[in-house]
Amino acid sequence: MREILKELMMPWLTFKQKAIVWYLGISFCLIVSVVDAPIWVFAILVLNFANAARLIKKIPIPKEWED
This prediction has a pTM of 0.78
How far, in Å, CA of 45 to CA of 41, rounded?
Answer: 6
The residue segments making up the domain with residue 53 are: 11-57
More confident position, 65 or 1: 1
pLDDT given for residue 67 in this prediction: 59
How far, in Å, CA of 43 to CA of 40, rounded?
Answer: 5
pLDDT given for residue 55 in this prediction: 95
pLDDT tens per residue across span 20-63:
999 999 999 999 998 888 999 999 999 999 999 999 998 887 77
User: Is the residue at 40 inside a domain?
Assistant: yes
User: Is the residue at 43 inside a domain?
Assistant: yes
**Cα R_g (the chain), whole angstroms:** 15
Contact 28, 49 (CB under 8 A): yes
User: Is the residue at 5 inside a domain?
Assistant: no
User: Is the residue at 47 inside a domain?
Assistant: yes
How far, in Å, CA of 26 to CA of 39, rounded?
Answer: 20
pLDDT given for residue 60 in this prediction: 83
User: Is the residue at 45 inside a domain?
Assistant: yes
User: Is the residue at 4 inside a domain?
Assistant: no
Query: Number of folded domains in the chain?
Result: 1
